[in-house]
Amino acid sequence: MELTVQDIVAWIEKANEKMQANKKYLTTLDQEIGDGDHGINMARGFQEAADKLTENDYPDTGAVLKDTAMTLMSKIGGASGPLFGTAFLKMSVAAKGAETLDHETFKHGLEEAVNGIKQRGKAAEGEKTLVDVWAKMADLFNRETDFSADKIADEAANAMEQTKDMMAMKGRAAYFKERSIGHIDPGSASSQYIFAALADIIGGK
């Protein structure tokens, strides 16, 4: 697997398309166990990120990921901005100076992203947060080196679905306690779209 600067830009553009198309769905999920603004926030943040990336030329993949991170941090409201921004910022550090991202570098970037999300959100796997999707994806890239785009998409979708049976332990959803069980975590849903977009890019290469 090798991702170029153009591939990373296309990844964020594709993720934005999915956020726009599923904005209402993400909002509905968040209305059930949150503030009800997740879809709006994610759609706004990724639209801004996609717009910014198309306006600039980047010397390496790390620079693309860093610009993505800073835009998401500033444009996504609530707790999600710092969390998603941190994920992409940690990936940008791992990719710094790399003209292309190979499997090893991307794997390391995902591991650092998970660590960053956990530290920033003080969360762990099984607590019904975006960590549950990002950690599963890091495990996939760490466990296997030869897999299809469909495998990436399926793994992300399965990780998202598993949050339905969890009780929320972090954020506003934690106030619902047992009543949060039976609902998909909005942050996991939007994370799933990010990795589904990555699968689209890898599958198209």
Domains and CATH numbers, the chain: 2-203 (1.25.40.340)
Whether the predicted pLDDT of 77 surpasses 90: no
pLDDT of res. 108: 97
Whether the predicted pLDDT of 199 surpasses 90: yes
Whether the predicted pLDDT of 79 surpasses 90: no
Whether the predicted pLDDT of 26 surpasses 80: yes
Question: How much is the mean pLDDT over the chain?
Answer: 95
Whether the predicted pLDDT of 166 surpasses 90: yes
Q: Which residues touch 114 (CB under 8 Å, ≥6 apart)? A: 87, 131, 134, 135, 138
Whether the predicted pLDDT of 37 surpasses 90: yes
pLDDT of res. 197: 98
Provide mean pLDDT across the span 76-92. 95
Decide if 126 contacts 166 (C-beta within 8 A): yes
| pLDDT higher at 23 or 78 | 23
* CA–CA dist 13, 158 (Å, integer): 23
* CA–CA dist 135, 190 (Å, integer): 14
| pLDDT higher at 75 or 174 | 75
Q: How many CB atoms lie within 10 A of CB 125?
A: 16
Give the residue among 117, 122, 95, 119 at the shortest CA–CA distance from 106: 95
Q: Please, what sign has the CA dihedral across residues 145, 151, 153, 159?
A: negative
Q: Which amino acid is at 127?
A: E
Confidence of residue 176 (pLDDT cuts 50, 70, 90): confident
